[in-house]
Amino acid sequence: MENQELLQQVIERAKVWLSEIYDENTRKEVQRLLDNEDKSELIDSFYKELEFGTGGLRGIMGVGLNRMNIYTVGAATQGLCNYLKKNFAGLPEIKVAIGHDCRNNSRLFAESSAKIFTANGIRVFLFDDLRPTPELSFAIRELHCQSGIILTASHNPKEYNGYKAYWDDGSQVVAPHDVNIIEEVKKVKAEDIKFDGPDELITILGDEMDRKFLARVKTVSISPDIVEKYKDLRIVYTPIHGTGVKLIPAALRAFGFTNIYNVPEQDVVSGDFPTVVSPNPEEAAAMEMAIKKAVRVNADVVMASDPDADRIGVAVKNDKGEYIIINGNQTALLFIYYIITKMKEAGAMKGNEYIVKTIVTTELIAEIAKQNDVEYFDVYTGFKFIAEVIRELEGKKKYIGGGEESFGFMPADFVRDKDAVSSCALMAEIAAWAKSQGKTLYEMLQDIYLEYGYSKEKMKYVVRKGKSGADEILQIMAKFRSNPPKSLGGSPLETVKDYLSRVEKNLISGEEKTVGQKSTSNVLQFFTQDGTKISIRPSGTEPKIKFYFEVKGQLGSRAQFDEAEQKAETKIDAIMDELGL
């Protein structure tokens, strides 16, 4: 009965999309779904509205309330317009910047949004073609815009697209604007969307903004003398069909590097991502072609960016001569270690520097900060929270770097989001620095572990699609919340942090206190007495629940690294079994 009621609700919602408000192609596709005997696609398309969350929209492209199309994108843009006009009512002109990635329909969604903004009297700066997310963030600040959007689904599969909204500091929107925009978007009906604004209010952005952006990227370099000495460092880079294709090689050249190898098949800009199943540099298959190229040219470092060029993937040669992908925690470790070490060497530390990491990212970053008297902050997953810290401390303290385990790093605050453009250039510089000491990046990473302590991280996710999957993810969280494990990996559980209730409980003493975050989030963390950390959270952008593991180990020399890795891997596997994964 319950399923029949849901189906009837879905049919009624779908029939609304047969009205003349919607274009002919949309109406035809909705009718096809209604006529299909298998109603699963119809249900998935209409059982709920695609939620404009605190990061914007992300979903599968297609017709329907729960899909990315010109009407769901249009409602988001109209709602954003309505909020901007309320919030900035005193300004003579409201300005927004618009960017997009390589995905199918991204240009259509960007141009449709531009016309909606101008129909609401808002001036638009629209990039002439695809551009990296960090450049959109930079342009908002450079042009003194009040807001901006980028059409991208980041590293999601090709069926997806997305819409991220930014505020006047170049960061994705945070409280109170995020929830206020959501409320405005919820009020918008299809007939309220103003689709046909004047072109006169649209300014096209091109090479001039690229040059300004790259000039700022060049300032990220800490050791130009080392780059000059090792400018022929062998670098392999792939954009995996995305927006990094033009600007990341340009950024590497701006730093001074001359020996950059590309992967021609993956320089082809395509929303179909023809050479990969998933355009995600976190996955080994996405970097396979670049690594094969690295073997042929004996590369010092291999780098990749995802479709909107905010994430960086890095592969390095290990002690056996094999190229391996280092994880996002290790990438962040290399960045933070390099920045702090070189700044200290140069006497550039003034005592007011700080770094930021997310709560699921390795605790070793915090250890590096502590031992070097650098302040650090823990925030929720998402660079908007890193940017929020920067905004609060602007003019008071100096941001020198921040990152998260999911292959994102931001080395400078002229961008307020993950920045693979600056990060790729800086990672090449770190490889040059390692080479100047007779080391590989792999050996440098081992030396960081020797100096600051060894840990190993791993992430596992469970995919649960559709309405039933979303319900199951909530049930999994509820189960761990109500019945946490007594021990993990042979060590008793010591602390539980529940960021939904904002309560941190010490299970040994019974003491409870408030976790150090201003807002709530559906995240659970378990800490054992031996220093193991497990974090559990549903993804905010994909139909997944994610489990993050970090275990500590002993490392006395580089020669013991493989043994330490194996022991840690075995321990993580055992913990996964205990958790039923």
Q: Looking at the annotation, which residues are catalytic?
A: 154
CB 380: neighbour CB atoms within 10 A?
Answer: 21
Place of tokens 């975050």: 517
- N residues, the chain: 581
Chain-centre distance for alpha carbon 152? 11
Distance CA 260, CA 143 (A): 32
Question: In three state form, how does the secondary structure of 200-231 look?
Answer: HHEEEECHHHHHHHHHHHHCCCCCHHHHHHCC
In angstroms, the Cα distances linking 348 to 114, 341, 352, 459, 570 are 44, 10, 11, 36, 42
Tell me whether residue 398 is exposed, middle or buried, using C-beta atoms within 10 angstroms of its C-beta: 0 to 12, 13 to 18, 19 or more. Answer: middle
Burial class (CB in 10 A: 0-12, 13-18, 19+), 190: middle
- What is the token pair recorded at 431? 């490889």
Contact (CB, 8 A) for 394 and 387: no
Bridge-based pairing state of the strands 398-404 and 353-358: parallel
Q: Are 326 and 316 in contact (CB under 8 A)?
A: yes
Alpha-carbon distance values, 450 to 204, 214, 340, 345, 566 (Å): 51, 36, 17, 20, 17
Can you tell me whether residue 547 is helix, strand or coil?
A: strand
Contact 411, 418 (CB under 8 A): no
Q: Which residue has tokens 């009837």?
A: 8
SS3 label, residue 479: helix
Provide, for the chain, the percentages of residues in helix, strand and coil under a 3-state DSSP scheme, each rounded to the nearest 5.
40, 20, 35
Q: 3-state DSSP call for residue 281?
A: coil
d(CA 160, CA 182): 21
One-letter amino acid at 155 equals H
Beta-carbon neighbour count of residue 146 at 10 Å? Answer: 19
The conformation of residue 102, written as its DSSP 8-state character, comes to S
